[in-house]
Amino acid sequence: MAAMHASPAPRGPMGHGGHGPMGHGARGAAGQHIDRGTWGKLLRYCRRFVPAVAVALVCAMIGTVLTLLGPNMLSDITDAVQDGIAPDTEKLEQVVEAVAGNIEANAEAMARQQAAAMAAAGATEGAGGGAAMPPAGMGAAAATGSGAAAGAAPSDATAAVPSMDDLASMSAETRDALFTDVEVDGVTITRDDQQKLLDIFADLDMSDTEAAMAALDELPASVKGLVEPGIDMDLVARIALMLVGFYVASYVLTVVQGWIMTTVTQRIGRSMRADISAKINRLPMSYFNEVPKGDILSRITNDVDMLGQSLNQSVGTLLSAVVLFFGSLFMMVTTNGWMTLAAVGASLLGFALMMGIMGRSQKYFLRQQSALGALSGHIEESYTGHSVIAAYNAEDRVRAEFDRMNGELVSAGFRAQCLSGLMMPIMMFIGNFGYVAVCVVGGALALDGQIGFGVIVAFMLYVRYFTQPLSQIAQGVQALQSAGAAGTRVFEFLEAPEMADESAKPARRARDVRGEVEFDHVRFTYPGSDKPVIKDFSAHALPGQKVAIVGPTGAGKTTMVNLLMRFFEIDGGQIRIDGVPTSEMHREDVHALFCMVLQDTWLFEGTVRENLVYCDDAATDEDMQRACRAVGLDHFIRSLPHGYDTVLNDQVNLSQGQKQQMTIARAMIADKPMLILDEATSNVDTRTELKIQQAMDELMRGRTSFVIAHRLSTIRNADLILVMKEGDIIESGTHDELLAAGGFYADLYNSQFAE
């Protein structure tokens, strides 16, 4: 209890790193670059969702593959329709070849017969001196064998197909011998139909398209039935039904993939919010002195929501886009190489522009999230201190600071969204340019006869499937940039240094504590400061004593209470409770030993009953009402619309004194071994203070109590008064002893009652 060295004026827990309504943003916010390790951290964080994500990705891949099969089926339908509209020229050629082959075969047979007849006639002439004449009507047709008649008859006489002029000069008997019925695909073409077919093509100019199409209409019925156009509707129906089935299956798989990813991302967000909430309880108090509460709130709400939404929009979309991109490229290469080169060449420009935009926009997404966190912190501080701002007429300054922060957010958001908004127009232009290139190259190849119209139809869809993923990839990358910026801030908070793990320390029960507290040469300096707040503090409180700590503002009184509660860790010395250093006890066990009533009251939105029995389920209604009567609050509570079950919200107005009375009643109900009162009656009137003082005296009976007070009249009955100045104890004793000493305490006391 000795007085130690003097030191500069101490700084309280909010003496550094704080930000008022006119501050300059959030400290501890993320930097201006996305942490490269964010994605690895996110993958590790989401590893328990890997099976579900894998199922979603498989659904996306299968659905995309089914979609890619559509253009080929449409190509087959187009070819079937095209074949059904145009005459079957291949079948017509087959008919003509069959007729010509039949005529040639008949002519060869006739030639062999004539050669045999001429050979027989030559033998007769040699024997009888006469010459045999060819059968009447053979004419030119028989002349083909005359060369062979001069000598020995050939073993395999042949005859060329007669020309139209030859056929015209033949006799009817010879033409009947040449034109015999021909069967093509089960259809018999008579000699008359053959003759008519040859007559039609005798004088036909095949370069005259209109004449050729008109001639097709004059074909004999047997031939026209073979070559007449007709769409194979059964084939078209089969392909169309299969195509519809593929598209329906692709839709179902896409819906399943979207449902899975939405579920996963929502659970990731819920898990992150829970982890952040748990993390808050593991962080030292110094962290909250350096980072504004609004920025922490922004990480829990804005950043986590942004992360979940971005993952939901990007992961499935990116995978589908990548599969669609490479799948369409593969299908195009296997369909036609030249058209693939045209489509790919038209899309290279899109790649270059997309990569350039992504590189420029990344920093603005992170700047946007940081500006949003700083603005949230400013708003939270401004509305918390709204009455102070109004009292000092600082509305214009606060509004100017808000406008500045809002302008930074708008600037970063505009640049990020503007650059990302360029993706879609660029991709639309590239897609349209690809259509033009495919149509030009495809038209040239179709005119050259290298491809059919079905290939062009398929490539029109493949170009869309090829360019569409570019915009989807761009949007997915944009979403991932937002997720990276948000994830950087979230993981920065989750990885902040925590208080040391104390699971190995033995647990101590509150009912076994007598209440002896000893401060042994305690030293403490706030993190980030080089000026010690507590330089060498020593004091000894016996069980059941009422210890008052007084001194001027900034002497370190509240700091000592925070050290006693282990809200901060001391730099040197020890604080012992019943001889056990608090550093060897669980923080939760230390907290369980004390009831605290602070100058700043805290009530949450809930019933009066819930606020009074906070974290004390064993408290009875009788205990609650007795405590409220002791502090003079019972009558007021019963006057509320629902008494103790009234919900405290904006519609129930409590004065600061009534709020403080409730916090004192809460401490009484908790009934802990030791008590801490930090200016507990600063917001109540003198009459209420006297009544509360009597109640607290009853409450403190048999408990070790630490009372911080500026009204020295409230601690005159203290068993021990410690007078602090600049972090040291300069006087100690009872009220009467200190007055008799005529020192610093006497000056403080007399100054309050000088008038």
Q: At what angle do helices 395-421 and 423-447 cross, to 10 degrees?
A: 10
For 248-280, how does the pLDDT look when each residue is reduced to its tens digit (9 = 90+)?
998 998 889 888 888 888 888 888 888 888 888
For 157-179, how does the pLDDT look when each residue is reduced to its tens digit (9 = 90+)?
344 555 555 665 666 677 667 77
Please determine, for residue 644, whether its predicted confidence score (pLDDT) is greater than 60: yes
Please determine, for residue 132, whether its predicted confidence score (pLDDT) is greater than 70: no
* pTM across the whole model: 0.58
Lowest mean pLDDT among 256-270, 289-303, 417-431, 518-532: 417-431
Please determine, for residue 29, whether its predicted confidence score (pLDDT) is greater than 60: no
Lowest mean pLDDT among 48-62, 385-399, 445-459, 629-643: 445-459
Residue 203: pLDDT band (50, 70, 90) is: low
The stretches of 203-303 forming alpha helices (DSSP H) are 209-217, 221-227, 233-282, 285-290, 293-298
Lowest mean pLDDT among 125-139, 389-403, 665-679, 684-698: 125-139
Residue type, 559: T
- pLDDT score for 252: 92
Q: Which of 706, 682, 702 is nearest to 692 (CA)?
A: 682
Residue 49 and residue 269: Cα distance in Å, rounded? Answer: 12
- For the chain, percent of residues with pLDDT exceeding 90: 2
465 compared with 520, residue with greater pLDDT: 520
Q: Are 67 and 324 in contact (CB under 8 A)?
A: yes
Q: Which of 469, 460, 477 is nearest to 326 (CA)?
A: 469
Average pLDDT, the chain: 76
Please determine, for residue 733, whether its predicted confidence score (pLDDT) is greater than 80: yes
- pLDDT score for 82: 66
- pLDDT score for 28: 38
Residue 506 and residue 584: Cα distance in Å, rounded? Answer: 8
Q: Which residues contact 170 (CB under 8 A, 6 or more apart)?
A: 137, 139, 140, 141, 162, 178
Please determine, for residue 51, whether its predicted confidence score (pLDDT) is greater than 80: yes
Tokens of 552: 């001027």
* Helix or strand (DSSP H, E) at 522: strand 517-524
Q: Which residues contact 231 (CB under 8 A, 6 or more apart)?
A: 80, 81, 83, 84, 85
Q: Which of 307, 289, 234, 320 is nearest to 58 (CA)?
A: 320
Tokens of 553: 């503002």
Please determine, for residue 127, whether its predicted confidence score (pLDDT) is greater than 60: no
Please determine, for residue 626, whether its predicted confidence score (pLDDT) is greater than 50: yes
> Mean per-residue pLDDT for 437-444?
79
- pLDDT score for 33: 55
> Mean per-residue pLDDT for 11-39?
46
Tokens of 336: 């036609």
Residue 230: pLDDT band (50, 70, 90) is: low
Residue 722 and residue 745: Cα distance in Å, rounded? Answer: 9
Burial pattern 128-150, b for ≥16 Cβ within 10 A else e, equals: eeeeeebeeebeebbebbeebbe
Please determine, for residue 149, whether its predicted confidence score (pLDDT) is greater than 50: no
> Mean per-residue pLDDT for 75-93?
68
The values of phi and psi at residue 729, to 5°, are -90, 120
Q: At what angle do helices 686-700 and 656-670 cross, to 10 degrees?
A: 10
Q: At what angle do helices 423-447 and 453-494 cross, to 10 degrees?
A: 160
Please determine, for residue 719, whether its predicted confidence score (pLDDT) is greater than 80: yes
Q: Are 401 and 378 in contact (CB under 8 A)?
A: yes
For 314-352, how does the pLDDT look when each residue is reduced to its tens digit (9 = 90+)?
777 787 788 888 888 888 888 777 888 877 877 776 667
- Distance between terminal CA atoms of the chain? 32
Residue 488 and residue 415: Cα distance in Å, rounded? Answer: 20
